[in-house]
Amino acid sequence: MIKAFIFDLDGVITDTAELHYQAWKRCAEKLNITIDSKFNERLKGVGRMESLELILEHGGKQNHFTEKEKRIVAEEKNEYYRSLLIENQSLEMLPNMHTLLLDIKHSGYKLALASASRNAPLILQALGITQLFDSLADPSIVKGKPAPDLFLQAAALLKVETQECIAIEDAQSGIEAINRAGMFAVGVGEVTYLKQADYVVPTTKELSLNEILVRWWEKEY
């Protein structure tokens, strides 16, 4: 029986995945590395330092910087990201997400966040939805996606079993993490990147509590 829903944040609840991409693109350009939206699929869901490693590897510069220099670049990326958040004054939820979160809550399911972003609490606060979540997994103390740890931590905080959870992600690394956690995986985005998910919708507009539960039931029985 399903008892809880665990959500990714960037690219699922808000459109901040695009802002992370813009900030990395700017940092990469300063390092003379070009990244495009196809490469960005590999960055989605991945933590800040790990993302920088992937970018450096992509540009053939993995051994060009000291740990201290890498920290400075990562800090700078975070500053770009935060200034984009400020410029983008009206930070909004993706279409239909508020309704979906409320439906889940009002139907008596528990709700947790499993985001790799250290900015997640700030974003939830800006959206005014912190109180909807029973728990937030903490990316500073567990391994990042594609490891299952953030989802396992979220389930443990909610005191539910992993097979009682449905998790929603827009990233390849996130779907892998959900699968490794033994949960039902819902993907939002292009099926090309999310084929390991149990159920994929192109955008958040197509997400409904009822349909997700039907898909889970069909897989289970």
Active site residues: 8, 10
Write the CB contacts of 82 (distance below 8 Å, at least 6 apart in sequence): 119
Closest by Cα among 211, 157, 155, 158 to 188: 211
Interaction mask 10-39, Mg ion, x per CB under 5 A: xx----------------------------
Within 157-186, the residues that bind Mg ion by CB under 5 A are: 170-171
Q: Which one of 54-62, 65-73, 114-122, 148-156 is the stretch in contact with ligand BG6 (CB under 6 A)?
A: 114-122
**d(Cα 204, Cα 97) in Å, to the nearest integer?**
7
Q: Which of residues 122-181 bind ligand BG6 (CB under 6 A)?
A: 171
> Residues touching ligand BG6: how many (CB under 6 A)?
18
Site track 122-161 with Mg ion (rule: CB under 5 A), x = hit = ----------------------------------------
- If one asks whether residue 48 binds ligand BG6 (CB under 6 A), the answer comes out as yes
Stretches 25-33, 97-105, 115-123, 129-137: which one binds ligand BG6 (CB under 6 A)?
A: 115-123
To the nearest 10 degrees (0 to 180), the angle between helices 67-87 and 48-58 is 110
The nearer residue to Mg ion, 33 or 178, going by C-beta atoms, is 178
- What's the residue count for the chain? 221
Q: Which stretch binds ligand BG6 (CB under 6 A): 27-35, 37-45, 95-103, 191-199?
A: 37-45
Complex with ligand BG6: residue 116 or 165, whichever CB lies closer: 116
Can you tell me which of 4, 35, 41, 44 binds ligand BG6, judged by CB under 6 A? 44
- The only residue of 35, 43, 186, 209 in contact with ligand BG6, by rule CB under 6 A: 43
Q: Say how many C-beta atoms besides its own lie within 10 A of residue 24's C-beta.
A: 23
Residue nearest to Mg ion (CB): 11
Number of residues that bind Mg ion (CB under 5 A): 6
- The crossing angle, in degrees rounded to 10, of helices 209-220 and 97-106 is 60
Q: Which residues bind ligand BG6 (CB under 6 A)?
A: 9-10, 17, 20, 43-48, 51, 78, 115-119, 171
